[in-house]
Amino acid sequence: MTSAFNLIDEPWIAVRRPDNVVIEVSIHDAFHQASSLRGLAGEIPTQEAAVLRLLLAIAIRATAEYRSDDEKVDDWAQWWESGLPLQQIDDYLGRCHDRFNLFDDKAPFMQVAGLHTSKGGYSGLIKIISEVPPNDKFFTTRDGPGIASLSYAEAARWLVHAQAFDISGIKSGAVGDPRVNGGKGYPIGTGISGPMGIVVIEGTSLAETILLNLFLEDDPQTDVPVWERPPQTAAPDAEHPVPTGCADLFTWQSRRVRLIAEADHVVDVLLCNGDKVEWKYLLHKDPSTAWRFSAPQTKAAGEIVYMPRSHDSSRAMWRGLEPLLAREPSPEDRRRKKAGEPDRAWLRPEILEQLAILTSDGALPDDHLIRMRTIGMEYGSQSAVVSTTIDDSLPTSLAVIANEQLGRLAVDCAHTAESLVFALQNLASDLAAATGDESEGVRPRAAEAGFSALDPAYREWFSRLTSTTDVDAATLAWRRTARRIMCEVGLQLCRDAGSAALTGRMVPVPNTERHDLMDLARAWQRFLSRMRASAPLPDDPQRDTKSSSKEQ
Percent of the chain with pLDDT over 90: 87
Separation of alpha carbons 423 and 447, rounded Å: 9
Tell me whether residue 509 is in a domain: yes
For residue 269, give Cα distances in angstroms to 6, 43, 75: 19, 19, 42
With 90 as the cut, is the pLDDT of residue 341 above it? Answer: no
Instruction: Report the distance separating Cα 284 and Cα 193, nearest Å.
Output: 14
* Burial (CB count <10 Å: 0-12, 13-18, 19+), residue 210: buried
The reported pLDDT for the residue numbered 552 is 47
Share the mean pLDDT of the chain. Answer: 93
> Does residue 325 lie in a domain region?
no
Is residue 447 one of the residues assigned to a domain? yes
How far apart are alpha carbons 297 and 300 in whole angstroms? 5
Q: Name the least confident of 1-5, 133-137, 357-361.
A: 133-137
d(CA 63, CA 86): 10
pLDDT recorded at residue 9: 99
Write down the pTM of the prediction.
0.94
Give the best-scoring range by mean pLDDT among 145-149, 266-270, 547-551: 266-270
- The 10s digit of each residue's pLDDT in 86-123 is 999 999 999 999 999 999 999 999 999 999 999 999 99
Q: What is the pLDDT of residue 344?
A: 86
Count of beta carbons in the 10 Å neighbourhood of residue 444? 11
Q: Beta-carbon neighbour count of residue 338 at 10 Å?
A: 6
Distances (CA, A) of 43 to 10, 33, 59, 268, 317: 19, 21, 23, 19, 22
Per-residue b or e along 359-390, where b marks 16 or more CB atoms closer than 10 Å to that residue's CB: bebebbebeeebbbbbbbbbbeeebeebebbb
Residue 352 CA to residue 355 CA, distance in Å, equals: 5
**Who contacts 185 (Cβ-Cβ below 8 Å, separation ≥6)?**
170, 171, 172, 173, 174, 177, 179, 272, 273
Residues 259, 129: Cα–Cα separation, whole Å: 13
- Residues 35-55 have a mean pLDDT of 98
Q: Give the whole-number percent of the chain exceeding pLDDT 70.
A: 93
pLDDT of res. 221 = 86
Q: Taking 60 as the threshold, does the pLDDT of residue 214 lie above it?
A: yes
pLDDT at 142 (0 to 100)? 56
CB 274 within 8 A of CB 254: yes
pLDDT score recorded for residue 336: 67
For residue 220, the model assigns a pLDDT of 82
Arithmetic mean of pLDDT, 294-317 = 96
**Confidence tier at 548 by pLDDT (50, 70, 90):** very low
- The confidence band for 332, taking pLDDT boundaries of 50, 70 and 90, is low
For residue 440, being part of any structural domain is answered with yes
Report how many domains make up the chain. 1
Residue 115 resides in a domain: no
Q: Is residue 105 part of a domain?
A: no
Helices 520-534 and 404-435 pack at an angle, to 10 degrees, of 170
Is residue 322 pLDDT above 50, yes or no?
A: yes
Give residue-wise pLDDT tens across range 190-206: 999 999 999 999 999 99
Strand order in the sheet with 198-202: 198-202, 369-379, 386-397
**Pairing state of beta strands 13-16 and 39-40?**
antiparallel
- Domain hosting 453: range is 405-551
Categorize the per-residue pLDDT at 441 as very low, low, confident or very high, splitting at 50, 70 and 90.
very high
Residue 177 pLDDT more than 90?
A: yes
381 inside domain: no
Instruction: Report the distance separating Cα 368 and Cα 174, nearest Å.
Output: 50
Cα angle: 248, vertex 251, 252; to 5 degrees: 75
The CATH number of the domain where 414 resides is what? 1.10.132.100
- Does 312 have pLDDT greater than 70? yes
Which pLDDT score, from 0 to 100, does residue 439 have? 87
* Residue 54: φ, ψ to 5°: -65, -45
On whether residue 436 sits in a domain, the answer given is yes
